[in-house]
Amino acid sequence: MANYRIHKTEYIDETKRVSFKYDGKTYFGYEGDTLASALLANGIHLVGRSFKYHRPRGIVSCGAEEPNAICQIGSKKDLTEPNVRATELELYEGLEASSQNCWPNVKFDIGGINNLISPLIPAGFYYKTFMWPKSFWKKVYEPLIRLSAGLGKSPTEPDPDIYDHKYVHYDVLVIGGGVSGIIAAKMAAKNNFKTLLVDDKKILGGSTIYQNNESIKIDDKLSSEWLKNEIQEIKKLSNLTIKTRTSIAAYHGYNFLLAKENLTDHLPEEKKKNKIRQRLWKIRAKKVVIATGSIERPLVFNNNDRPGILLSNSINKYLDYYGVTCGENIILFTNNDSAYETSISLHKKGIKNIIVDLRKSASSELIKQAESLGIKIYFNHVVTNTFGYRKINSLEIMKLSEDGNTTIGDKIKLSCDCLGMSGGWTPMVHMHTQSGGKLDFRDEDQVFLPKENSEDQISIGSCNGDFDLENIIDKTVNKINKFLYIDNQDYQDTNIICSKENDKRNIWLLPNKIPLGKTKCFVDFQNDSTAKDIKLALKEGFRSIEHVKRYTTTGMATDQGKLSNMHALGIIADTAGVKMGTLGTTTFRPPFTPLTFGTLVGRNVGKFFEVVRKTSMHEWHVKNNAEFENVGQWKRPWYYPKNRENMHDAVQRESKAARDSAGILDASTLGKIDIQGSDASEFLNRVYTNAWSKLAIGKCRYGLMLNEDGMVYDDGVTTRISENHYLMTTTTGGAANVLSKLEDYLQTEWPELDVYLTSVTDHYSTASICGPNSKKILNKLFPNLDLSDENFPHMSFKEDKLENINCRIMRISFTGEQSYEINIEAKYGHSLWKMCIEAGKEFNLTPYGTETMHLLRAEKGFIIVGQDTDGTMTPSDLQMDWIVSKKKFDFIGKRSLYRSDTVREDRKQLVGLLTDDPKEILEEGAQIVLDVKSKPIDMLGHVTSSYFSPNLNKSIALAVVRSGKTMKGQKLIIPMENKNINVTVSDTIFLDKENKRLNA
């Protein structure tokens, strides 16, 4: 096997050999490698197939911008992870990775046929080719695309790893630990700012850390040596926290940033165990310094996507940092000076290389150095084609015309086994724009630069468009001094010598004799879109960059167009004949690199997924076999199955028992608001539709609360406990919103009212006992309490003691039965419940859940806000005009009750429905029509509540129906998938219209 590791570096530990599997085959690398560097050391460039044409693709870069080397890690159902960039993945013993984008395998795959039929896959091919017939989408196109595109596999079982979240506050956050970030962090920390420096790599230093060109020196040392010394210095600073392997995922407003710290991804399997895998840092920083650097641009020419074609600077890093050469016969194709650094590095290690430069000439120190080393340079030349199927083996170059628009002269064919390309540098302005910053365009080298517009963030270094070392250091020092209002002199006497680039020439789409239609000039490698696609989109009338992007899918893959966006913009600008700066850019959205769901949710999994509220009786319900229903955050008993009953049977039994003898419900979850103050009565008058001033002390009243738009918002019973003291109950789900709404009116509209609101929902537990024998059970619990109807009638309130503990007892009913609600301090709730159950034994006191409660109230025609109402129902729509006071001058929502829309006769109104077949139970939500023959069918309304009533031995339902009030006796139809159900409109009250049971 070929070994491309040609020299030792301090970053690769050759004493620690690491074995790993790639596509099922075992290879070796060393500690310090990334998967990409280890593959290259083994001579492997081919790592996948392209998305649309299934062309062979190789490693292109050495960082987060990698479009091709996307892997699936591991194969375990719970731990496998897709979309991992091999260029960022640190190698560890036992790593198993496979190339993601190929099927059936990387060397031969069926999708390669797409390459041959590529004229049929133009821009917008999804929209054009796969449009019709519609039914083909689900069964033919989508599975095919998914299979052949191989977008990676999600784990199918829960993630067993531990993830963490941490909130931190800093004076200064520095993003990026390259030379400018290190200087900024040092200046900040030394001037008493509590500083955090984050970098996504394993070690600090950016690209300067492996810089070894003699022409670039700081204080007479190699820049890398000087920087290592700086790093040693900052590690001693007590004010500075350094986090490596930590990348900023999102930069939100008010300097709130999310950073992902990788803690164990680089460790072998057995060392990962029981450790936190990743930590999401939630950072608030007073000031943020962005030093995220820049990434090298590819060049757009025919067949620029073959394996073995990399970014020039990546070739340099693989060589000088990892000790790996990407080839033995390398050509560097460039439009700027940086490829010369790569060339000189390669030359020093004895790797044969030549340079093809778009520029007519160039004259910096670096170029002179290359020339003096005898490196062959073709100035004013362009690569027009490349050859080689699984790896590049040769290419063609031609001379450029004076204006750069065409090629001239003869083709020169050059052989090679690797091509480095450098189209200049793109500042990483993602963080700046995510924070809300705007961009300026610099024509000279065609870069978007951060526009300084805020006092709490700044960009420095090459992400700010400063590319040579002298510029970077001088400007960083000046800007940081100004930004932090300090006067740091540490770098005053630093002596920097570096090569200065003097010549530039940029051509977004390189010229070629071959017509564009017959070339493959890739712009976006990951989504396989070409220059031709972009031109076609323009031809078809797309103008906005956002539209072209979506139509061609350029920049829409997991790399978010880090390498492709600038070229797409450049080609659009050139084609449309507009200045590039005027086009704007596409939006950079978080996350900068993909995040796992685990990192986002942290510890909020399993039991901690959501807050759970339990009543103090909860344990009893669990012990007694209750099935639970979620109501908001509350766990409420739904029904209590006995002897393997199903829900229907349990509910039939529970509801029959409640009507025949006695039932008991845990009503603790109802919202409870304690209202006190000398204006409490007036306040209730204003918030409920009915009158409250005359409610006697010790009495209860049902109230309906509206929104200002006249629609029913909440309901519940409120009790007058003393002159200036009420206890309001709300629906379980509405408690928090009602309190907020009441506070809103009190604080903002009626601050003159002397009223205080306190939520006491959690402070009291409530057992509600109903049924003909409820009075007897109450008598056993409270023998001294006079329960006679004269002393304690329906809708009244008493206080008594249960073993010395005070209880508030309301005789109120949601079931239509005689019913008592016993409230006790929550800590005694469980005891209260057990005592009730004990006392009720001889009366077959049956615990019932929310389902039976719903059925019992439906028999009586009581509404449930949120089930029978949906924010569009007025009291009149609910046939509850009786509860709206005509006398009151005002209450919330009153004026809306006679707007032209709310007084319409043909609004949807609440009615009862009886099925012609009494055994037929309607589906809640089912549509109601008058006539199924006329098309389109006119929808009159829908079923809101539906049950089989064991007490009436028939099916009953509530529904909202247009003009329902006038329809009693009307036959209607409920069309279902297989049949039409005939129903008749009825009264909403199905049982005991005379309230005999209530007052019995």
Cα(176)–Cα(242) distance, integer angstroms: 10
Q: Return the range that interacts with other proteins (CB under 8 A); candidates 9-17, 199-207, 253-261, 339-347.
A: 253-261
Q: Give the Cβ contact number of residue 157 at 10 Å.
A: 10
Tokens of 819: 């019913």
Q: Is position 889 an interface residue for other proteins (rule: CB under 8 A)?
A: yes
State the nearest-atom distance from the C-beta of 742 to other proteins, in Å. 11
Question: What percentage of the chain's residues is helix, strand, coil (to nearest 5)?
Answer: 25, 30, 45
Residue 807 contacts residue 778 (beta carbons within 8 Å): no
Find the shortest distance in angstroms from Cβ 256 to other proteins. 4
Instruction: Give residues 435-474 in contact with other proteins (rule: CB under 8 A).
Output: 436
d(CA 118, CA 457): 46
Least Å distance, CB 169 to other proteins, is 11
Give the pairing of strands 764-770 and 663-666.
antiparallel
Q: Which is nearer to other proteins, 119 or 751 (CB)?
A: 751
| Residue in 10, 142, 214, 744 binding other proteins, rule: CB under 8 A | 744
Q: Closest approach of Cβ 457 to other proteins, in Å?
A: 13
Of 243, 182, 246, which Cα lies nearest the Cα of 209? 182
Q: Return the number of the residue (290 or 695) whose C-beta is nearest other proteins.
A: 290
Which residue, 254 or 597, has its beta carbon nearer to other proteins? 254
- Tokens 């993945």 found at: 89
* 207 within 8 A of 178, measured Cβ to Cβ: yes
CB nearer other proteins, residue 599 or residue 902: 902
Per-residue x/- marks for other proteins, 76-115, CB under 8 A?
----------------------------------------
Alpha carbon distance 773, 757 (integer Å): 36
Question: In the set 128, 166, 275, 284, which binds other proteins (CB under 8 A)?
Answer: 284
763 near other proteins, judged by CB under 8 A: no
- Are 20 and 91 in contact by the 8 Å Cβ rule? The answer is yes
Q: Which of 274, 372, 693, 900 binds other proteins (CB under 8 A)?
A: 900
Near other proteins by CB under 8 A: residue from 24, 119, 133, 253:
253
Task: Indicate the pairing of strand 96-99 with strand 70-73.
Answer: antiparallel
In the complex with other proteins, the residue whose CB is nearer, 738 or 914, is 738
Closest CA to 114 of 152, 155, 144: 144
Binding other proteins by CB under 8 A: which of 13, 328, 660, 709? 709
Distance CA 677, CA 365 (A): 85
Give me the least distance between CB of 746 and other proteins, in Å please: 9
End-to-end CA distance of the chain: 95
Taking CB under 8 A as the rule, which mask of x and - marks residues 721-740 in contact with other proteins? -------------------x
Segment lying near other proteins (by CB under 8 A), choices 34-42, 250-258, 595-603, 672-680: 250-258
Q: Say if residues 863 and 877 touch (Cβ distance below 8 Å).
A: no
- Report strand pairing: 796-802 vs 725-730: unpaired
What's the closest the beta carbon of residue 580 comes to other proteins, in angstroms?
26
Q: In the complex, what is the shortest distance from the CB of residue 436 to other proteins, in angstroms, rounded to a whole number?
A: 6
Residue 894 near other proteins by CB under 8 A: yes
- Residue 194 CB, shortest distance to other proteins, in Å, is 17
User: Distance between CA 667 and CA 441 in Å, rounded?
Assistant: 65
- DSSP character for 921? P
- The C-alpha atoms of residue 751 and residue 745 are separated, in whole angstroms, by 8
Q: Which of 142, 743, 906, 917 binds other proteins (CB under 8 A)?
A: 743
Stretches 322-330, 381-389, 610-618, 743-751: which one binds other proteins (CB under 8 A)? 743-751
Our finding on whether 882 is near other proteins (CB under 8 A) is: no
Site string for other proteins, 17-46 (x = CB under 8 A): ------------------------------
Beta carbon nearer to other proteins, 372 or 740: 740
Q: Please select the residue that binds other proteins; options are 107, 113, 157, 254, rule is CB under 8 A.
A: 254
Q: How many binding residues for other proteins (CB under 8 A)?
A: 22
Q: Which stretch binds other proteins (CB under 8 A): 220-228, 251-259, 502-510, 630-638?
A: 251-259
Q: Least distance in Å: CB of 941 to other proteins?
A: 25
DSSP assignment, residue 923?
Answer: P
Q: Between residues 31 and 171, which has the closer beta carbon with respect to other proteins?
A: 171
Q: Which stretch binds other proteins (CB under 8 A): 249-257, 576-584, 779-787, 857-865?
A: 249-257
DSSP code string of 851-911: HHHHHHHHHTT---TTTT--S---TTTTT-GGGS-SS-S--TTTGGGGSTTTT-TTSEEEE
Among 252, 273, 543, 968, binds other proteins (CB under 8 A): 252
Picking from 413, 466, 425, the residue whose alpha carbon sits closest to that of residue 298 is 425
Max Cα-Cα span within the chain: 114
Per this entry, what is the length of the chain? 1000
381 to 440, contacts with other proteins by CB under 8 A? 436
> Among 136, 256, 389, 609, which residue interacts with other proteins (rule: CB under 8 A)?
256
Residue 939 to residues 502, 767, 926, Cα–Cα distance (Å) = 75, 42, 10
Q: List CB contacts of 195: < 8 A, sequence separation 6 or more.
A: 170, 171, 172, 173, 174, 185, 188, 189, 237, 239, 240, 241
708 binds other proteins (CB under 8 A): yes
Of 285, 291, 367, 363, the residue nearest 332 (C-alpha): 367
Nearer to other proteins, 368 or 888 (CB): 888
Interaction of residue 896 with other proteins, rule CB under 8 A: yes
Residue 158: which of 593, 591, 601, 558 has the closest Cα? 601
Residue 756 contacts other proteins per CB under 8 A: no
Q: Which of 156, 405, 492, 748 binds other proteins (CB under 8 A)?
A: 748
Stretch that binds other proteins, among 127-135, 287-295, 867-875, 887-895 (CB under 8 A): 887-895
Nearer of residues 403 and 890 to other proteins, judged by Cβ: 890
Q: CB of residue 424 vs other proteins: minimum separation in angstroms?
A: 31
Least CB distance to other proteins at residue 752 (A): 10
Q: Are 470 and 498 in contact (CB under 8 A)?
A: yes
Q: Does 747 bind other proteins (CB under 8 A)?
A: yes
Of 679 and 709, nearer to other proteins (C-beta) is 709
Residue of 166, 543, 895, 968 that binds other proteins (CB under 8 A): 895
Token pair, residue 122, equals 């133009």
Please, which residue, 485 or 889, has the CB nearer to other proteins?
889
Cis peptide leading into residue 104 (ω within 30°): yes
Cβ closest to other proteins, residue 36 vs residue 739: 739
**Residue 743 or 842 having the CB closest to other proteins:** 743
Of 857, 860, 875, which Cα lies nearest the Cα of 995?
Answer: 860
> Do strands 457-459 and 276-290 pair parallel, antiparallel, or not at all (unpaired)?
parallel
Contact call for residue 749 and other proteins (CB under 8 A):
yes
CB of 513 to other proteins, least distance (A): 50
How near is the Cβ of 738 to other proteins at its closest, in Å? Answer: 13
Whole-Å CA distances, 186 to 198, 231, 479: 13, 9, 14
Q: Which helix (H) or strand (E) holds 242?
A: strand 240-243
Using CB under 8 A, list all residues that contact other proteins. Answer: 252-254, 256, 284, 436, 708-709, 740, 743-744, 747-749, 751, 889-890, 894-896, 899-900
